[in-house]
Amino acid sequence: MLAYLTSGESHGPQLTAVIDGFPAGFLVDIERINYQLARRQKGYGRGRRMKIEQDKVEVVSGIRGGYTMGGPITFVIHNRDWDNWAEIMHPIHPMREDLPLKQKGFASETTRPRPGHADLAGAIKYNHYDMRNVLERASARETAARVALGALARHLLEHFNVVFASHVIQIGSVQLLSGYDRPDISSIARLSEESDVRCIDKETEHQMIEAIKSAQKGHDSLGGIVEVIGHGLPAGLGGFSQWYQRLDGRLAGAMMATPSVKGVEIGLGFEAAKIKGSAVHDEIFYDPNGNTAKKKFYRRTNNAGGLEGGITNGEDVIIRVAGKPISTLSKPLKTVDIKTKKPAEAMLERGDTCVVPALAVICENVAALVLTDAFLEKFGSDNLDETDRNYQAFLNTDF
């Protein structure tokens, strides 16, 4: 149902995000979208770039008088840092004419790839000698555009009483105690927003901050693990008829397509491989006065993370995402200059020490995009009124 794409470079004039397939007649609160963008910029360990940018969307198509029109919706996020990079990044700035076509670039060309980044792989793929052409688009700056789209998607799901939250469960070697008692989603949302590292436990938060400080002193970086929760989703989203319909696969794919992500698990995830089936699978119960979005069935555990057979079962969707330490280090690693082929130190770029708190917000909104798409597949129409009627019919129909 939904199709979306983003464009723009990290230090270009703007990021652009386009989404199509969004129902007409939905009243959009732009400040809800800007709020998610502001959340993405926060977090202990972020670099100087976040002090420069003040991300907000400008609507350039698809919304009139505050209401969606049914056509493609386009957001623009202006890069304030463009003023500092315009001479290098300007699309019609003259390139060096003294070089062969293959090697044309600016005087400030980058030729020393960072281990762990797309620099070298991208240069080989696109035949670039100046890796500025790679890193600008491969940069996680692009996720601001995806967060804007995800914020719009979750805005729609909130109309149907679906809410999202996220929190950080590990930074470096510091982690929330295994088997912690997960609070309700409103408490997770509140506690994580109160924390500089989006951790719901104050003592663990303090240890995480100290770990980031230590990494900063050592000119290093830290990764971690975040947890995303979607609450209030009805049973029956997704499918198993074809592999690409399975919602767990779609969610995992979208998470893995987020910069720095190296692992995804749903529910118990890898832990389920260590336990007998009798302890893994969530027993089913029925309450005649229960939640109609679940068709009155419920579970007392949620080891499946809200998904069985690629389909939502009405319980919370729980996703954990592991992000590696970012590859931009102020104490650069060894590399090879791609022009001279001689040993060198990796290039220096302005960067963060830890982006894990921001990763939580990004994954929260990326998940919202995938789940909104699945929701519209089942209940969607060209306009909000019909989507409302379809969903109400589902809730009012006995199983």
Average pLDDT over all residues of the chain: 92
CB crowding 375-394: b at 16 or more within 10 Å, else e: bbebbbbeebeebbeebeeb
How many domains is the chain partitioned into structurally?
1
Q: CA-CA distance, 316 to 231, in Å (whole number)?
A: 5
What confidence score (pLDDT) does residue 102 get?
46
Q: CA-CA distance, 30 to 335, in Å (whole number)?
A: 44
- Say what percent of the chain tops pLDDT 70: 93
Q: In the chain, which residues have pLDDT < 70?
A: 47-50, 90-108, 178-179
Give the CATH number of the domain where residue 61 resides: 3.60.150.10
User: Nearest to residue 290, comparing CAs of 374, 388, 399?
Assistant: 399
Q: Is residue 104 part of a domain?
A: no
Q: Is residue 125 part of a domain?
A: no
Q: Is residue 132 part of a domain?
A: no
H-state helical runs in the chain: 30-41, 49-52, 82-89, 119-126, 132-138, 143-159, 185-193, 202-217, 247-256, 277-280, 356-379, 384-396
Q: CA-CA distance, 43 to 45, in Å (whole number)?
A: 6
- Are 89 and 302 within 8 A, CB to CB? no
Pairing of strands 297-299, 343-345: unpaired
The distance of Cα 349 from the centroid of its chain, to the nearest Å, equals 22
Q: Is residue 89 part of a domain?
A: no
At 50, the amino acid letter reads M
pLDDT tens-digit map of 158-200 = 999 999 999 999 999 999 986 677 889 999 999 999 999 999 9
Q: CA-CA distance, 43 to 33, in Å (whole number)?
A: 18
Q: CA-CA distance, 219 to 221, in Å (whole number)?
A: 7
- Determine the structural domain holding residue 285 and report its residue range: 3-80+141-327+352-396
Q: Is residue 106 part of a domain?
A: no
